[in-house]
Amino acid sequence: MKIEDKSRRGETNVGFDAPAAAVNIALIGASGRIGRRLLELVAARIGAVRLRVVAMANSRSWLIARDGLGPQQALVRLAAEADASGTDFADLLLRLPRPLVVVDCSASAEIAARYPRWLGAGIDVVTPNKFGSSANRPLAQAIAAAQAASGAVLRDATTVGAQLPILYTLRDLHAAGDRVERLEAVLSGTLSYVLGGVHRGAALSQAVRDAVAQGYAEPHPACDLSGEDAARKLVILLRALGHDIELGDVERVPLVDAALLDAADPAHLLRSLEGADETWRARAAVAQARRERWVYRASFDCTSGPGRARVAPERIAIDHPLAQLTPCENALILHSAYYHAAPLRIAGPGAGIDLTAAGVFADLLATAQRHAPAVGVADTALVEAAA
């Protein structure tokens, strides 16, 4: 079956008859900060690993090219495309040559809802998008069923902690029979950065502006400030440990008054946050006087019941491990059947464009490794590319 290539208006075609000389990539969110950085990483390794970008999309347009798109020129071509239907693009991906990996660098629930169809068709998905892995049960179950049916994989290690080895570790522990007793964590690199700035004397509103400028927060940071981002990460963590939990099961306390977060315009939101500056300046002063520190803590405890999941701003003692984190660091402290005498601790920078893009690229390389025999990629080449 042949499909006209929208990017060339008929000059090239895509279909299952295309040569399978490489692992093909369809990049969604290509013009975003993570997508752009990922393209740079792919371009730098294109000689070592046979990766071929055959499709790209952003929130406005898309293009497909059977013979591949040069990573460095692809964004220019994408910008030249007219507005087009994302539904058309999603459907056309099903007809691209295999092996194919959809790399979803968006933060779109609508895109995540398409994962079951792609996975069911044998298309792998690599993503930092949390909406799939933290989805409510119907979508989460459909994603799992699609993988089981086709053998395709969803790799989502960067949904929690960017490039930190959190999710793979917890999934391995669960597979080996471990049982969580309780955990506590700082899962939002954005709020870690913001509260760190407040403790250093910055106004809350300025700390949020800085987090946006540094790429730690989304351009519209309401999802971070409301606690939704941290709550979704906690859901993903607990699912990795075998718990059947949904976002609505997590008690969530926002960093600021929820009424401030209703603004549709990011600039208006940032101005509104100035009204919370004095409150947080006073909170930081009280905490310092008590030798405490504010953190946005995620917690789960099932030692005396089915388990309580919570994300909230909390004061903790200055000598607590979570109080020792530098701005933008994430940390997990896990008490479990295997880590009973002493907890498992994982900590390090957990946000940022470079770290997230590097983690996505590592997941992409691991996915490409699955197809190495089919495309003639030597194991050593993949190892060297990941180094």
Q: Report pLDDT digits (tens) over 199-224.
A: 999 999 999 999 998 888 877 889 99
Q: How far apart, in whole angstroms, are the C-alpha atoms of residue 320 and residue 221?
A: 27
* Active-site option among 2, 6, 130, 233: 233
Query: Encoding tokens for residue 301?
Result: 């405890």
**What pLDDT, on the 0 to 100 scale, is given for residue 16?**
35
Q: How far apart, in whole angstroms, are the C-alpha atoms of residue 338 and residue 334?
A: 10
**What pLDDT, on the 0 to 100 scale, is given for residue 68?**
87
pTM of the entire structure?
Answer: 0.89
**What pLDDT, on the 0 to 100 scale, is given for residue 12?**
34
Q: How far apart, in whole angstroms, are the C-alpha atoms of residue 145 and residue 157?
A: 19
Q: How far apart, in whole angstroms, are the C-alpha atoms of residue 382 and residue 119?
A: 23
**What pLDDT, on the 0 to 100 scale, is given for residue 18?**
39
CA 98 to chain centre: 25
Instruction: Compute the Cα dihedral for 245, 247, 248, 253 and give only its sign.
Output: positive
Q: Report pLDDT digits (tens) over 240-267.
A: 999 999 999 999 999 999 888 887 788 8
**What pLDDT, on the 0 to 100 scale, is given for residue 7?**
38
Phi, then psi, of 106 in degrees rounded to 5: -85, 180
Domains of the chain: 3-159+354-386 (3.40.50.720), 167-351 (3.30.360.10)
**What pLDDT, on the 0 to 100 scale, is given for residue 48?**
63
Query: Tens of pLDDT along the chain (387 residues)?
Result: 223 344 333 333 333 333 446 899 999 999 999 999 999 999 887 666 788 999 999 988 999 987 888 877 888 888 888 777 778 899 999 999 999 999 999 999 999 999 999 999 999 999 999 999 999 999 999 999 999 999 999 999 999 999 999 999 999 999 999 999 999 999 999 999 999 999 999 999 999 999 998 888 877 889 999 999 999 999 999 999 999 999 999 999 999 998 888 877 888 888 999 999 999 999 999 999 999 999 999 999 998 878 899 999 999 999 999 999 988 899 999 999 999 999 999 999 988 899 999 999 999 999 998 887 655 444 434 333 433
**What pLDDT, on the 0 to 100 scale, is given for residue 80?**
83
Using alpha carbons only, what angle is made at residue 24 by residues 19 and 25, rounded to the nearest 5 degrees? 155
The residue type of 217 is A
Strand, coil or helix: what is 381? helix
Q: How far apart, in whole angstroms, are the C-alpha atoms of residue 253 and residue 280?
A: 15
CA 133 to chain centre: 9
The verdict on whether 233 is a catalytic residue reads yes
